[in-house]
Structure 1
Amino acid sequence: MERRTIAITVGDPAGIGPEISIKALAAFADRLAEGDLRLLLVGDVGTLQETARRLGMAAPPAITVDEIAKAPPAAILPTTPLARPVEIGQVSAEGGQQAYEAVRIAVEQALAGTVTAIVTAPLSKEALHLAGHDYAGHTELLADLTGVRDSVMMLAHENFRVTHVSTHCALEEVPKKATPQRIGRVVDLTHRTLKSLGIAEPRIAIAALNPHAGEGGIFGRHDIDVTAPLVEAYRARGFRLDGPVPGDTVFVKLRAGQYDAVVAMYHDQGHIPVKLLGFGVDTATGEWTALSGVNVTLGLPVIRTSVDHGTAFDIAGTGKAQASSLLEAIDYALDLARPAAMRDAVA
């Protein structure tokens, strides 16, 4: 039986990443015992051991890179040890460096073929910058480490999937980035990934940039002059592509099952509907009750999925963090890592 190895980068050690990573091992215990899956936590050994102790759980053993192929079902792949523990819940350069190093190690192993896919727990962009790594987030970091210049972010919650033309940039920059070439790249990768997930004829919609898709030019011409001709060209090639569909209705149609995915023009347009569906709160207490959703980076030479939430410094170290999004991300990585999916899901 072939064992698939998933590298889980535990993110910023001052956030909830170490906690949800240890909890994920427990949640996958039965699956790990079956012999077809290995989970490697990439991070500071001391932090993970202390986190496991605090949770009343056993920490997995630490291994070296050379031992990955023969490692037990659960293990720690160490980063450079912290000189001293970071302060839980606080942004620091040390935390940013740990998060960066974990991703770097995981990417190296994925490119070398010793791990099947990468799943990332949250990092702090501020901490990353304090450590001297000037990336807007995981997506940009992964693109740089793999030599890719036009990766695409997809957020997913169950069958609700949204890819993005632009992400971490000012709104005033979005029209400049939403070129026919970029939109086409996003459509191509979205289509390819949906097929790799077993959808034979993907139905995709492109969200309009402007209100009411420009309202005949009254609210701007980008949707009319850029998106509409591109959609026509793709439909002529046999794609089941609609657009531009007004942003205030396209996600309702996605939820109703009229589409398999939506291409969003910018960060908040795509993120808000996914998080409204995936995140749950107790209205009586205001506390989170669910953190579901997966972030997938398309167009990389490796498979990468991630949680769809941040470091949650405010609850780090309390034991309250939920691992549901990380569990979904692991499942999504395994779906993409199926033999057929492995060929189709990466550029």
Structure 2
Amino acid sequence: MSANRPVIALTLGDPAGIGPELVAKLLAENDAVKDTHTVLIGDRWLWDEGQRVAGTSLELPEVASFSEARQHDCPVFLAMDTVSPDQVRYAEANAAGGASVLAVLGRCIEANKAGEVDGICFAPLNKYAMKLGGLGHEDELHWFVEKLGVTTFFSEFNTLGTLWTSRISSHIPLKDAHSYVTEERIIAAASLIYDTLKKAGFAEPRVGVAGFNPHAGEGGTCGREEVEIIAPAVEKCRAQGYPIVGPYPADTIFLKARDGELDAVVTMFHDQGQIAIKMLGFDRGVTILGGLPMPVGSPAHGTAFDIAGQGKANLPPTRNAFNLVKAMCSQ
């Protein structure tokens, strides 16, 4: 046993989706959780169901608390009773499933506050189910921020490993996106992803900023945000010691990223980056909740209700998410 190994909480995700199956497949890989103290947390019946769907039969020692994890060299199971089998139907988002996710993640957060957990990797969840189950925020990131008392800038990051994206606004109506285009938010988003890339092992991160308007405003003739807000924000980043570049037109910046000229792209709204990065690698993408006091990650895809319970779930994004959380815990 090594006291230096990070303790990582691993959750089963939405009970009606592919999360339990993915977790079963992940833990069945011999090297998947190497060099960690992994605590699988959730309902016993749901773990058993995930194994049934995945065709695995792994026995995990059961613990009563996260603090016991360091006593074991193998993954352990921490049982919670959050939802019953008769409350769950595959491919159905409901309040019971959403409340279950919130209860499990809440327990993980409390363990982090107590110094018992270093990072969290959660299987896919369903925002609609979570809102039915009591989530009063626009997404899980804002919920984490409130629970952890974060007061500084935060952002969801999406990554394919060698390419990351962040954004200055997230799950908001597109008609409101322009109001988030401020120097303060751009500087915060760019510096946060730069610092996070450092923690993820990038020696000298190359971060580019996208424009807001078509063709990055065409010198101010097709929108003034680039001239009046975005370019000055980039210059202020550079003055602070961050080698940020841009703004580049949003319809070409990802060509630079694809060709290896950039490690990360700061986008101005959700779909500007999400469409590009999912086209480049939806089958391997990872979501990191940036700006939190601990690494929190998940596969970038959703609950895949169309294949839930069928044993068809694709493991690589979940494996990548776990590996990235592990790497960030070790920095």
Pick from 307, 319, 339 the counterpart of residue 299 of structure 2: 307
Q: How does 1:116-265 map to 2 (within 5 A)?
A: 116-149=118-151, 150-265=153-268
- In 2, Cα distance between the equivalents of 1:117 and 1:141? 16
Superposed CA deviations along residues 35-70 of structure 1, whole A, max 9, x for unmatched, are: x32222222111111221343322434322153332
Q: How does 1:76-155 map to 2 (within 5 A)?
A: 76-85=77-86, 86-149=88-151, 150-155=153-158
1:81 Cα deviation after fit: 4.0
Contact 2:11 2:41 in 1 (8 A): yes
Instruction: Please list every run of 5 or more consecutive structure 1 residues that lacks an aligned counterpart in the other structure.
Output: 280-290, 342-347
Superposed CA deviations along residues 261-311 of structure 1, whole A, max 9, x for unmatched, are: 1101111111111111212xxxxxxxxxxx211111111111111110101
1:73 Cα deviation after fit: 1.6
- Which residue is equivalent to 2:9? 7
1:75 Cα deviation after fit: 2.2
- In 2, Cα distance between the equivalents of 1:326 and 1:92? 23
Give yes or no for the alignment of 1:270 onto 2:273: yes
Q: How does 1:280-291 map to 2 (within 5 A)?
A: 291=283
- In 1, Cα distance between the equivalents of 2:226 and 2:266? 13
Instruction: Please list every run of 5 or more consecutive structure 2 residues that lacks an aligned counterpart in the other structure.
Output: none
RMSD value, Cα: 1.7
Give yes or no for the alignment of 1:30 onto 2:22: no
TM-score (norm 2): 0.93
Q: How many corresponding residue pairs?
A: 325
- In 2, Cα distance between the equivalents of 1:334 and 1:320? 26
- Which residue is equivalent to 2:64? 64
Contact 2:22 2:313 in 1 (8 A): yes
1:31 Cα deviation after fit: 5.3
Report percent identity of matched pairs.
Answer: 37
**SS of structure 2 residue aligned to 1:314:** helix
- Which residue is equivalent to 2:284? 292
- In 2, Cα distance between the equivalents of 1:239 and 1:82? 47
Superposed CA deviations along residues 70-127 of structure 1, whole A, max 9, x for unmatched, are: 2452222223242334111111111001111111111111222212211111111111
TM-score (norm 1): 0.89
Superposed CA deviations along residues 113-156 of structure 1, whole A, max 9, x for unmatched, are: 21221111111111111112222222122112111243111110
Contact 1:207 1:265 in 2 (8 A): yes
Query: Which is worse superposed, 144-153 or 309-318?
Result: 144-153
Aligned AA for 1:74? Answer: P
- Which residue is equivalent to 2:18? 16
- In 2, Cα distance between the equivalents of 1:80 and 1:46? 9
- In 2, Cα distance between the equivalents of 1:83 and 1:328? 30
Task: Tell me: CA distance 1:72–1:101, structure 2 relative to 1, closer, same or farther (3 Å).
Answer: farther
